[in-house]
Amino acid sequence: MAKKNFITILGLGNILLADEGFGVHFIRWFSERRRLPNNVEAIDGGTLGYALLELVGNCRHLIVVDVIKLQDAPGSLYRFTREDLELHMPPPTSAHEIMFLDVLCKAELIEQAPDDVIFLCIVPEQYENTALEMTQTLKEKFSDMEALLLKELSYHGIVPERR
């Protein structure tokens, strides 16, 4: 099967849990600011779990924007390869929990995985209580995350236009 997208940018997170929704909020913000070429797509992946499998298998390069819960200052930014991220992932908290890495593993099993996956992550400040608003700390990091994403896209010769 031919891959539809050269690059897919996937924002993950739960917008009901404050900073946990950073990836989703960022993708929406970025999409309003930048125009992507036809072979690059920015998608709000929310918390769709295995429903993301077809999307993941439909691109050559995948860039995931998400939070990562590390012992570091809120708003700290990280860039990981898939291999790097696996070293930093906490053990599952439930046998039923579907983590995004599970989706990638399944994509590999059916030989539909992207050629490479990059994670652009941010340390959240507030994510345990229900809140529709992100903290100001993370809102102020959108432009820093944008710079990381633009740098990542430039590695592939992609320079999104400003809207």
Identify the residue whose tokens are 């439930």.
Answer: 94
Q: Which backbone phi and psi does 6 adopt, to 5 degrees?
A: -70, -45
CATH topology for 5-162 is: Rossmann fold (3.40.50)
What's the pTM value of the predicted model, to 2 decimals? 0.91
pLDDT tens for the chain, 163 residues: list them.
567 889 999 999 999 999 999 999 999 999 999 999 999 999 999 988 889 999 999 999 999 999 998 889 999 999 999 888 777 666 554 444 558 888 988 998 999 999 999 999 999 999 888 998 999 999 999 999 999 999 999 999 999 999 9
Pairing of strands 34-35, 161-162: antiparallel
Report the DSSP beta bridge partners of residue 10: 43, 64
- β-bridge mates for residue 77, sequence order: 122
Q: Where are the domains of the chain?
A: 5-162
Bridge-based pairing of strands 5-12 and 59-67 is parallel
C-alpha span between 62 and 4 (Å, rounded): 12
* Tokens encoding 118: 């990059």
Amino acid at 112: Q
